[in-house]
Structure 1
């Protein structure tokens, strides 16, 4: 009897693990947001425009003074591509490590988001699609903002 109960518990646990893992894999295989954003070409342009706006934005331009902007653009493009279901793989360091010691605040985080939204508007990305990407990026606020 104990063996039968153990097998039933094991089977139930395996089913729960399988059922929770399947949606994650399905989500990773879903490239619809990537396609809705316009693919790698549009994402690259959006990132380039976002960083150009950020460098002109008096609220945040100083945070980029010692930054290799070409490398940053490459990494952000990879990150957006991967997050949206595209074929890219983010090759940068974890967000917490990258932003450690920068003492970024919510105003700076929000300023960059505004610059990103302006760049997506310029690329004629619909608001609904923009919001889907922003929803994926929003949790990073807790990791990036330290003040």
Structure 2
């Protein structure tokens, strides 16, 4: 749990350094630990439910095409976890342009993702591995 808290703090408090996106993993261990495609779909569904119930950030999603958002989040997590997917969505910069996502908004989304993974029984070590893969995207998302 301590490692998860440290990683969340690094993600949410701005402790991440700007890094280029790492190439997708060649090992599918994380993908399998997340439950493969069905597990990732459940995690993303849980994330979207959590967002819908989160007054802090739900306003950012009012006009979103939820079906497309679901599809692209599944693709993204699949790729970042070493799965056999291809991400076909827009860049993080383009998809968040004009949204003015704050650090607080980003933090709330990370909290909702952690909750969704926990509810799916994803081990903390696997949660940390996924969060570490997603962390470099932070700078492409906030204040756009």
The answer to whether TM tops 0.5 is yes
Higher relative CO (Cα under 8 Å, sequence separation at least 6) belongs to: 2
Aligned to 2:56: 59
- Decide which structure has the larger Cα Rg and report it: 1
Distance in structure 1 (CA, Å) of the matches to 2:39 and 2:108: 21
Gaps of 5+ in 1: 1-23
CA distance in 2, matches of 1:28, 1:113: 21
TM-score, reference length from structure 1: 0.80
For structure 2, the 5+ residue unaligned runs are: 1-21
Select which of 117, 120, 125 maps to 2:117: 120
- SS of match in other structure, 1:29: coil
> Under a length normalisation based on structure 2, what TM-score does the superposition of the two structures give?
0.82
CA root-mean-square deviation:
1.4
Q: Does residue 144 in structure 1 map to residue 111 in structure 2? A: no
- TM-superposed CA distance for 1:107, in Å, is 0.4
Instruction: Give the equivalent residue in structure 1 for 2:16.
Output: none
Distance in 1 (alpha carbons) for counterparts of 2:55 and 2:135: 22
Choose which of 108, 122, 147 in structure 1 pairs with 2:105.
108
Runs of 4+ in 1 over 2 A off after TM superposition: none
The equivalent of 2:40 in structure 1 is 43
Comparing both structures, which one devotes a greater share of its residues to helix? Answer: 1
Equivalent position to 2:129, from 118, 127, 132? 132
